[in-house]
């Protein structure tokens, strides 16, 4: 890593943009400039600065100085007040291209040696019906986990009216309703429940944290008999119960950043499918995401966190060509070979006859902890289909705390998450919601495309800088009544 060259690159880019503005090559608004209403050149600089700070090639103060100098110069040229400038979320997160902070160089001695710690995870697959006044429904318990941030059930839920119609905004949305549920254990202890839900799924947190060694918990729901929850440890469900498999890797910080960006690009592309080649309107969000990507690659190479011989820029260029994206500025020739999972999604998106029938609702219990790598602890806590979408629930510990200087932490997940189904098709996962509690993030990750409910098993791949961790898990689908 070369921090001096990284700062020099950013300053030279700022000088180039300022010179172009003075010569009329770049359009600069005549309105007073501020960090919230930037000149046309500012997003380009901000993206490069964000990338360099994210890989630790440039510290925050140095990046702020460069952008502040640029703002002052533009303000003087416009005879206006440049306004205060900070390298903060509003300024840097436009386009949401990069994570705020990525892991430092991996420790080769630690690859594959991270033990699954004292965390406790149990797949459940229980449905608990309830009834209160004119509202009925069920809570589907996907898993129980006990980690440093506390104990929780990962659940989905539904409520219905007396005539069986789904009710939005009822049931758990009422402050009084969760208090009707109670949990006790085999030692006679009772627990307070805190409900945290988003779109029919979420967490039920137990307070205080249950002690180790419990044989069972019992959940009492209004209008129903208590349901006993067996806490006997279970295996991961993989072949021969071998658990997750670890493959050491050696991606650079720049390569990992660009690879995760490609995943996000494929997530957004999935919203448009076959329309990508047909309409410029469908490609507009992708063109906006990739604008200035060539500058970012050049900056990462100057900072020596991306090798000029790396194949990733060429693969990105080939991906952009496959999605009919222009204006990205990448100079590397399109790579001759794309990763298998990228090709799988491209093949699905570009079919002449896309899927017409949405994935049917259902839920599948999962509970498996991955070995620690890249300073993170991850665990899968469940999966469900709802409204034609598949949601994967993930618990992540070890992410940096959100200090407000970059994109929100869910967008900072510095790993790729992919799912291969029993039919051989790959699905990319992107963060769709999050809840933070005592150092750990509970994430809702949307899969694109959705899983068919006929899927018998899945292979979950989490790829970081120092390792790829893979777990094969059978799916025991449960269905809404």
Query: CB–CB of 431/393 below 8 Å?
Result: no
**What pLDDT score was predicted for residue 107?**
44
DSSP letter string, 181-217: -EEEETTS-EEEEEEEEETTEEEEEEESPPPTT--EE
The span from the CA of 342 to the CA of 333, in Å, is 18
**What pLDDT score was predicted for residue 68?**
81
Helix/strand/coil for 42: helix
Query: CB–CB of 167/406 below 8 Å?
Result: no
| H or E segment and range at residue 198 | strand 190-198
Helix/strand/coil for 49: helix
Give pLDDT tens digits along the chain (481 positions): 888 898 888 888 888 877 776 665 334 333 333 334 344 556 778 888 888 888 888 888 888 888 888 777 766 665 544 444 444 433 333 333 333 444 444 443 433 333 344 788 999 999 888 887 777 788 899 999 998 888 999 998 887 766 555 554 444 544 455 677 889 999 999 998 888 877 778 888 898 999 888 999 999 887 788 899 999 866 544 444 567 899 998 889 899 999 999 999 998 888 766 555 556 666 778 888 888 899 999 999 999 999 999 999 999 999 999 888 888 889 999 887 899 999 999 888 876 555 555 678 889 999 999 998 888 889 999 999 988 889 999 999 887 665 544 445 555 678 999 999 999 999 999 988 887 777 788 888 999 999 988 899 999 999 998 899 999 999 999 876 6
The span from the CA of 380 to the CA of 395, in Å, is 6
The span from the CA of 313 to the CA of 332, in Å, is 6
The span from the CA of 246 to the CA of 205, in Å, is 31
406's CB contacts (< 8 A; 6+ apart) are 50, 53, 54, 89, 92, 93, 99, 100, 101, 412
**Other C-beta atoms within 10 Å of 348: how many?**
17
**What pLDDT score was predicted for residue 303?**
93
Query: CB–CB of 360/112 below 8 Å?
Result: no
> Among candidates 352, 432, 358, 420, which has minimal Cα distance to 392?
432
**What pLDDT score was predicted for residue 108?**
39
| H or E segment and range at residue 328 | none
For the stretch 414-447, pLDDT in tens is 899 999 999 999 999 998 888 777 778 888 899 9
Task: Give me the numbers of helices (H) and strands (E) for the chain, helices first please.
Answer: 9, 18
**CATH topology for the 120-230 domain:** Immunoglobulin-like (2.60.40)
Query: CB–CB of 431/419 below 8 Å?
Result: no
> Up-side HSE of residue 215: CA atoms within 13 Å toward CB?
3
**What pLDDT score was predicted for residue 419?**
96
Q: What is the pTM of this model?
A: 0.82
Q: Convert 430-453 to b/e letters by CB count within 10 Å (16 or more is b).
A: bbbebbebeebbbbbbbbbbbbbb
Q: Where in the chain is the domain with CATH 2.60.40?
A: 120-230
């Amino acid at each position: 890593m070369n921090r001096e060259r990284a700062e020099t690159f950013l300053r030279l880019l700022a000088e180039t943009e300022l010179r172009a503005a003075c010569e009329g090559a770049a359009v600069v608004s005549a309105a007073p400039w501020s960090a919230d209403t930037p000149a046309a050149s500012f997003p380009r600089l901000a993206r490069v600065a964000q990338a360099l700070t994210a890989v630790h090639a440039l510290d925050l103060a140095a990046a702020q100085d460069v952008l502040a100098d640029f703002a002052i110069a533009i303000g003087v040229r416009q005879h206006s007040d440049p306004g205060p400038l900070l390298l903060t979320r509003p300024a840097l997160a436009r386009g949401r291209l990069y994570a705020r902070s990525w892991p430092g160089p991996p420790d080769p001695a630690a690859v594959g040696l991270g033990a699954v710690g004292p965390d406790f995870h149990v797949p459940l697959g229980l449905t608990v019906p309830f009834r209160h006044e004119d509202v009925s429904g069920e809570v589907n318990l996907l898993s129980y986990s006990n980690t440093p941030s506390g104990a929780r059930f990962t659940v989905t839920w539904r409520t219905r009216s007396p005539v069986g119609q789904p009710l939005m905004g009822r049931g758990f949305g009422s402050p009084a309703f969760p208090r009707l549920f109670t949990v006790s254990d085999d030692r006679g202890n009772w627990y307070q429940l805190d409900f945290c839900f988003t779109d029919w799924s979420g967490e039920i947190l137990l307070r205080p944290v249950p002690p180790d060694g419990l044989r069972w918990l019992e959940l009492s729901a209004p209008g129903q008999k208590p349901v006993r929850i067996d806490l006997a440890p279970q295996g991961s469900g993989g072949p021969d119960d071998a658990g997750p498999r670890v493959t050491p890797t050696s991606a650079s910080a720049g390569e990992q950043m660009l690879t995760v960006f490609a995943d996000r690009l494929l997530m957004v592309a999935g919203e448009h499918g076959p329309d990508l080649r047909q309409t410029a309107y469908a490609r507009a969000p992708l063109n906006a995401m990739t604008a200035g990507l060539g500058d970012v690659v050049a900056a990462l190479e100057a900072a020596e966190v991306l090798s000029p011989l790396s194949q990733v820029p060429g693969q990105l260029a080939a991906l952009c060509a496959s999605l009919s994206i222009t204006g990205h500025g990448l100079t590397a020739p399109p790579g001759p070979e794309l990763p298998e999972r990228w090709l799988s999604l491209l093949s699905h998106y570009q079919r002449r006859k896309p899927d017409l029938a949405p994935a049917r609702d259902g839920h599948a219990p999962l509970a498996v902890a991955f070995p620690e790598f890249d300073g993170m602890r991850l665990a899968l806590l469940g999966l469900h289909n709802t409204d034609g979408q598949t949601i994967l629930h993930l618990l992540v510990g070890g992410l940096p705390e959100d200090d407000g200087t970059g994109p929100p932490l869910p967008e900072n997940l510095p790993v790729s998450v992919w799912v291969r189904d029993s039919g051989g098709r790959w699905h990319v996962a992107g963060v769709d919601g999050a809840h933070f509690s005592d150092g750990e993030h509970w994430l809702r990750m949307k899969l694109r495309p959705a899983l068919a409910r006929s899927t018998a098993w899945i292979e979950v791949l989490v790829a970081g800088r120092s390792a790829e961790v893979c777990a094969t898990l059978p799916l025991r689908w449960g269905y809404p009544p």
